[in-house]
Structure 1
């Protein structure tokens, strides 16, 4: 395969960049030419081999799969295009390293992609990871949506293991301020609309509600993935033998740890998964789901059950701020702003949410 060839994203196992249900526009002609140069330079550093698959991608990270000429296993190569993307990959690399050293269950450690090589300070910067086996959860659901319930059960089983590694409950206002302050500032700094009257009112209402909920009610504090969506979960192929374990899909990998926190709110992961299912199965954007949750007072999905409004809002804040921090292109994507970000803050500005 030539460097410039592109393949469907699902052929790069575990590679997903989801923007609230809206994929960003891939790089233009100039961007693709720059990617050609990046891959040639990286290929020289990797030695003899060939590119098996290249995805120009929908974010600020070029992702490709490299097959060494010596017959070794293929590796996943991530080339950040911007400073924001470099910082995101540094966070991912470091989070995986620390988490792997702390995890006791060996089965859970096996779900983490091992770093083969890290040259994020080089030119061009690059992160090389092992290719984990399995099919991304969103690809599996596109083929077999009836597996949504069992997939959610398997995913939450992994979460229970991850969240059980360390942590406890907290009502610490300083910890809560750390969670909220940076993420709210990202929205205000990156999105001009958020600095206007309506956007500012929505951000203030969001901060007031979440801070009250997180300090008045005990919040589980532990390792959190931060972007726990079906697309970041790898599962044994349906054709494998056996394809399931006790009736549940077998999880073979968990990728994209750029938003992970050692002392994050555990509720973010479960609510993120529920919102991602809403987009994948029903085509409802994150903004549409949050507006409905604000009006109903809860977020409900058949596969995940009823979740408190504060959980849904915290997951939404994690999602939009994480996307904006990893790529400035989100702030310029009018469709994403119109369908994912603005409706939620507009609803918050119009009516303050009620406490549980």
Structure 2
């Protein structure tokens, strides 16, 4: 689409590699009048250029890779479809700007998606970002699952670098109600089942357990990504010699970290590691987040060989971040019965049911 032509549709793997982990728009969807109009209006706003690929993420955002007419490097153009999607992109843009300003080693800023143009208050709203290099971690693992441990080590190393460069971390339990209140309210507001007897009991048990655990023990507080999963991590795999850009032999190295809409400057640090562990279970073993969290509730924690032991409170926080973010970014999640039955409902049912083991539903607040 050069100002007004047809939008090309690329095969899934190619789009995910060039658009940072986004999902392909099926041809029938890409051709719909509304999306075509958004892209035409965006092209008129941004000036001459050529659309190279079109993708969409789960947050009601239409994304295109576009090459300017002057021959400059390609850019990502994000066109939100809904008010929720606009707010999500505003949060992402602002979080990246604040974090980049705090990072002392300039090299780490290159991992963040730099904003080139922001017109999120316009008609249509548009956000333009640079294209970061690398392959999404979930794509890399689908090809080379044996890299899971090395990929995790690289990912956690970047987490530690970012936190250290942004001023380190602290321990503060006073933030707990702020972490929980809004996210629990999103579940109750968006999902009717959560307002019934069983759902309400599960939410109350979840809140009671997390408040008790997080206020009764030291909590590491730091910059958190909020959706730290392999799909939001861009990497280059090791070269045939087993070494890449000075990295340890056989280890992929991180070239970018995208989707910062759920980031917090003072979030619970364990969320990112637990999110990564749950996402690995989904990618490598096909087990849903709900199935893994229910198992963690019954065993008292989550253990993966790549990530080690993770406490139950961290697993439940990561699950709460995941489900509330999905519900807040797109109302389609609340209508997705398969997702609700696989991810949300089993966890709250487990929390609401009186267990035979000592657990969150049996202890007073």
TM range (shorter): over 0.9
Tell me, yes or no, if the aligned pair for 1:84 and 1:325 is still in contact at 8 Å. Answer: yes
Paired residue total = 347
Q: How does 1:27-46 map to 2 (within 5 A)?
A: 32-46=32-46
By how many angstroms is 1:108 displaced?
1.6
The CA distance in 1 between the partners of 2:31 and 2:348, in whole Å, is: 33
Name which structure has the greater RCO, CA cutoff 8 Å, separation 6+: 1
Per the alignment, residue 279 of structure 1 pairs with: 282
1:48 Cα deviation from its structure 2 partner: 1.4
Equivalent in the alignment of 1:267: 270
Q: Residue 168 of structure 1 is aligned with which of 167, 170, 173?
A: 170
Q: In the TM superposition, what is the alpha-carbon distance from 1:285 to its structure 2 partner?
A: 0.4
Distance 1:318 1:81, change over 3 A: same
Secondary structure in structure 2 of the residue aligned to 1:50: strand
Change in CA separation of 1:288 and 1:37 when aligned onto 2, cut-off 3 Å: same
CA-CA distance at 1:239 after TM superposition: 5.2
Is residue 354 from structure 1 mapped to residue 356 from structure 2 by the alignment? no
State the Cα deviation string for residues 261-282 of structure 1 (Å, max 9, x = none). 0111000000000000000000
Q: Give 1:222 deviation, angstroms.
A: 1.1
Which residue is 2:146 aligned to? Answer: 146
Partner of 1:12: 18
CA distance, structure 1, for counterparts of residue 115 and residue 308 of structure 2: 36
Q: Which residue of 2 aligns with 1:318?
A: 321
Cα contact 1:50–1:66 (8 A) shared by 2: yes
User: 2-side partners of 1:243 and 1:303: how far apart?
Assistant: 21
1:210 and 1:310 in contact (8 A); partners too: yes
Q: Rate the CA distance shift 1:304–1:56 in 2: closer, same or farther, 3 A.
A: closer
Q: How does 1:1-356 map to 2 (within 5 A)?
A: 2-3=6-7, 5-8=9-12, 9-16=15-22, 32-164=32-164, 165-166=166-167, 167-172=169-174, 175-238=175-238, 242-243=243-244, 245-247=247-249, 248-351=251-354, 354=359
Counterpart-to-counterpart distance in 2, 1:29 and 1:162: 38
Structure 2 runs not aligned, ≥5 long: 361-365
RMSD: 2.1
Separation in 2 of the partners of 1:345 and 1:26? 34
Deviations 1:153-187 (A, max 9, x none): 00000111122223301122xx1000000000000
